[in-house]
Chains A and B, each alone.
Chain A
């Protein structure tokens, strides 16, 4: 009898443990997908939900006379004409040179869609929200508005950019 009770107790105990484990899993921390890229030897990131695809820069980016300086030109993406912009000047960074590691991130936010030229794509990660720190207080007000946070990746600081704010400022 005692042996039976012990067995049922053990089973109940296991069921309880499993339930607790499931609760822990359910309460697992919220994560955010980030596309980490490099520009002028620094790491930056876009929110993954805003990046629709990452493409190799085509051989020819068609320059558009009269377009703002940050617009590198337009490309043919499967029949659709997309703009390609450089955000270096916007971030007070030196101009980048196109290399074999250069990529174009096609981003969409706030009704604006554009390719953004980056020096390289470093990773696409799911990062716990708690791992993201608020933007540095030393950033100037203009940049701080376009930065949503920071995190550490491979020992380096990654600045997370707000695509919507950047597009909004550039489109104004």
Chain B
């Protein structure tokens, strides 16, 4: 699976920063080949899923400025809908941190794999788009379990 690593990827990641449901997140641009308006994706006849459908949020999530990320990995047959893309920034790998142990407890999201602190002190959660199908399957599993009980 080519994630588009150039020579610079040994030292840094280029992140697309966005906010969804009040949570600031970032994805590695090497996993994306494009970003489109939802209407354009619909015209192309491609399926789209909201990130909130793929990662479990506690409350309802509303979108204000929706964009669809088209992934390089063709094994993922849908575009991922995000909200309020802000900027694309290079981030040094030394500044990345794994999530604290208790956050990862109880089989939490696999797609949210780490975090980084920006210069302004805010925290960005890092999302691995290629791990979203696993999270989605887990959410579906939980929902079907809840339905059967």
Contact = CB atoms under 8 A, between A and B. Distances in A.
Given A65-B109, A85-B102, A113-B100, 8 more contacts: A62-B23, A62-B123, A64-B108, A64-B125, A66-B111, A66-B135, A68-B108, A79-B117
B45 to A, nearest CB: 29
A171 B97 CA distance: 19
B50 interface: no
Interface of A: 60, 62-71, 74-76, 79-83, 85, 111-114, 167, 170-172
Given A64-B99, A82-B100, A76 B122 contact: yes
A167 B125 contact: no
B101 A67 contact: no
Contacts of B117: 76, 79, 81
A65 B123 contact: no
B24 interface: yes
B99 to A, nearest CB: 7
B30 interface: no
Q: Which label, helix, strand, loop or mixed, suits the secondary structure of the B interface?
A: loop
Chain B interface residue number, banded: 20 to 34
Contacts of A79: 117
B52 to A, nearest CB: 8
Interface of B: 21-24, 52, 55-58, 97, 99-103, 105-106, 108-109, 111-112, 115, 117, 121-123, 125, 135
Residue of A63, A69, A112, A172 ringed by the most chain B CB atoms within 10 A: A63
Contacts, number: 86
B123 A76 contact: yes
14 contacts: A62-B24, A63-B58, A65-B23, A66-B56, A66-B112, A68-B105, A68-B106, A71-B102, A71-B105, A80-B97, A114-B101, A167-B102, A170-B105, A172-B105
A167 B21 CA distance: 29
Contacts of A62: 23-24, 122-123, 125
A72 B24 CA distance: 15
Contacts of B123: 62, 74-76, 81
Contact of A66 (B21, B22, B24, B108): B108
Contacts of B22: 63
- The 4 closest A-B CB pairs, nearest first, are A66-B109, A83-B100, A68-B106, A62-B123
A65 B55 contact: yes
A71 B121 CA distance: 20
Contacts of A60: 122
B99 A81 contact: yes
